[in-house]
Amino acid sequence: MKSGESTFLAGSHDRSGEPPVNQPLVSIITPFHNTAQFLAQCIESVLEQSYENFEYILVDNCSTDGSGEIAEKYASLDSRIRMIRRTALLSQVRNYNCALEEISDTSQYFKIVQADDSIFPSCLELMVHAFEQSDSIGLVSSYWLKGDEVRGSGFPYPAAMLPGKEMARLYLRTGVWVFGSPTAVMYRSSLAPKGQPFYDESHLHEDTDKCMELLERWDFGFVHQVLSFSRADNPGISSAVRAFEPDALDRYITARRYATRFLAPDEAEAVKRRARQVYYGALAHQALRFREAEFWRYHEAGVKTLNESLDWSDLAVHIIGQAAWLAANPGEAVARAARLWKHKTRTQPGPGAES
């Protein structure tokens, strides 16, 4: 941590009793910036865990909406909570990396719980249990609730773990999405050594990238229960990005970056071609909605992390193809317009906030 980047506040009221014997220490980290509306619910979900041996690190990234005071209140009531105040505003990913520098040397597992998310009471207990199947497991995930929809389906039931490379191949071949947001995943603490950034700050979707990177060397555990909640209606933290088709870009980047690492050459090329077709098809669909310049800047920045530029000629081919199909199917065009209008009226973006 650079000098002057943060100040430290600790809880002043000790919990009675000692942590249960033989429970590994879990580090939970919640970085936040102007999330007062949701922060108490997030913190309370952590404090309600059935698993007791954890430390909870709250990192205030220069909030101005009272979030820091909410965190201070909880830190004063539970000695497992440590609070850190930034004295200079950091980017979101930089803030996450710096927060991970604060976990205890005795920590065995760590989990980020984003400030507008929450975890269900058995989350830590079941994830630690999943880890303890094997020392080869580097990360564990589960089903999660995104708004009112259950996500993470497709992991083979009743398997509780897969070899990492097999999990990566499953994702590349089928698109089975089990990583979720950072709130859905727990990691082995040894994978975040002090002095080395855990997330690559130059990558647009750094959390997916980290999961795929780890699967080259570590196995993957999974809990077949819904263990976390990610808010779909927050008008702050990432509402603007959600409207930019980040999932399509994420899948394209992952295929381009990792297909050749996990798949045989012929299959890797086929996966990359298919990913490109799907991605440019998604962009063409958005082009026919006359998306704003900021949308295209987002995607230009995304493909730039692959040392690519958007292929406008390929995009034009996809636009022509989709426009011709819509012209031949006017009923579907009307139905799409109705769905778009319904979506827009239901999800209007609000002022941004960074966690």
Pairing of strands 109-112, 186-188: antiparallel
Convert the pLDDT of each residue in 190-227 to its tens digit. Answer: 999 999 999 999 887 899 999 999 999 999 999 999 99
18, pLDDT greater than 70: no
103, pLDDT greater than 50: yes
> What's the mean pLDDT when you consider all of the chain?
88
> Alpha carbon 253 to chain centroid distance?
15
Least confident of 95-99, 150-154, 219-223, 348-352: 348-352
341, pLDDT greater than 90: no
Instruction: Find which of 9-18, 41-50, 341-350 is predicted with most confidence, using mean pLDDT.
Output: 41-50
Q: Give mean pLDDT, residues 116-127.
A: 98
Q: What are the Cα distances from residue 306, in Å, to 229, 249, 264, 340? A: 31, 11, 21, 31
Confidence band, pLDDT 50/70/90 cuts, at residue 259: very high
Residue with tokens 């071609």: 273
Give the pLDDT score at 240.
56
Confidence band, pLDDT 50/70/90 cuts, at residue 237: very low
Give the pLDDT score at 21.
67
Instruction: Evaluate whether the domain defined by 7-234 bears CATH number 3.30.470.20.
Output: no
Give the pLDDT score at 17.
52
Segments making up each domain of the chain, as ranges: 7-234, 240-346
Q: DSSP secondary structure string, 146-211?
A: ETTEEE-TTSPTT-SEE-HHHHHHHHHHH------SGGG-EEEGGGS-TTS-SS-TTSTTHHHHHH
Query: Is the alpha carbon torsion for 297, 299, 300, 301 positive or negative?
Result: positive
The pTM of the full predicted model, rounded to 2 decimals, is 0.85
Least confident of 102-106, 144-148, 150-154, 232-236: 232-236
140, pLDDT greater than 80: yes
11, pLDDT greater than 50: no
Q: 57: closest CA among 141, 127, 125, 1?
A: 1
